[in-house]
Amino acid sequence: MEDGFSLEQATVGIFGLGLMGGSLAMALKGRCARLIGCDTHLPTLELALSKNIIDHALPHPLPLSLWERGVDLLILAAPVPAILNFLHQVRSTNYQSPITILDLGSTKREITQAMSALPPNFDPIGGHPICGKEKLGLENADPNLYRGAPFVFTPLERTSPRAKSAAIQLIFAVGAHPIEITAEEHDRVLASTSHLPFLIASALAHSTPQAFAPLIGPGFRSTSRLAGTPAHMMMGILQSNRDNVLNALQTFRNSLAAFESVLQDENYSQLELLLDQSRASYVSLTDN
């Protein structure tokens, strides 16, 4: 390759073998020279090895252990707080070999800021595949999870053409399609398209009496599905994107208030207009 990176010849390390990291490993198997999985949960590593999802396993995310394995591309597929903690650890390492780092975190500003402080031998780039499901863990991993999904990447000022090429090669290898935007734009948009829906689903589930369970149908299940996501997986996302999430909540609150107002006034012609506008917005947003 002109930029010096070839995924087919690369040793790829994946820190975090849950749903996202495990699915990525499955999709990458056979498309890179070697896959090294790293996870603090030993049963997860054992499962990954027994299913031949990875070639080698490391039981802890200590940077030196990964460097010693000759990793060319390191993918951080852990929750946002764990990614940030790892990047802070890396800042103190004395290992000098060059390595490209790509994260899959659901927010980008704090992660790319931490990446910008890495030593010069690290070549970082932010990333976020727009896919997933509420059932987590390696046991729910799917090699087709990324197929057809948008995969955002957010280069830093210091990101080299080699790192950018590595990210794009990986994105195409797993069947996703790349979208390049800034970390700031990513967090602003995802507050409305991902983080707000989680909070809305959670509020719906929280406000519905348990006595109503016998009459719950597919509408409630589909609308409240994201409330099934474990809270610990969302806390770092909501904390690191707090300002954008609050803005998205206010916009949603205004929209909800409009529906409440026309119902209160028994203005059913205006209610129908709002519902028609909402349906048109839904079709426009999802018809791609």
The residues spanned by each domain of the chain are: 7-181, 186-286
Q: What percent of the chain has pLDDT over 70?
A: 95
Q: What is the pLDDT of residue 90?
A: 85
Per-residue pLDDT for 263 more than 60? Answer: yes
**Distances in whole angstroms, Cα of residue 85 to Cα of each of 70, 79, 254, 283:** 22, 10, 37, 40
pLDDT for 30-47, tens place per residue?
A: 999 999 999 988 999 999
Per-residue pLDDT for 68 more than 90? Answer: no
Amino acid at 109: R
Output the six-digit token pair for 145.
């999870």
* Beta carbons within 8 Å of 232's beta carbon, 6+ residues apart: 79
CA–CA dist 27, 142 (Å, integer): 8
CA–CA dist 282, 214 (Å, integer): 29
Residue 277, exposed/middle/buried by CB under 10 A (0-12, 13-18, 19+)?
Answer: exposed
CA–CA dist 42, 265 (Å, integer): 59
Assign a CATH topology to domain 186-286.
Answer: 6-phosphogluconate dehydrogenase C-terminal fold (1.10.3660)
Per-residue pLDDT for 215 more than 50? Answer: yes
pLDDT for 219-249, tens place per residue?
A: 999 999 999 999 998 999 999 999 999 999 9
Q: Which CATH class is domain 7-181?
A: alpha beta
Count Cα neighbours of 56 within 13 Å in the Cβ-side half-sphere.
Answer: 15
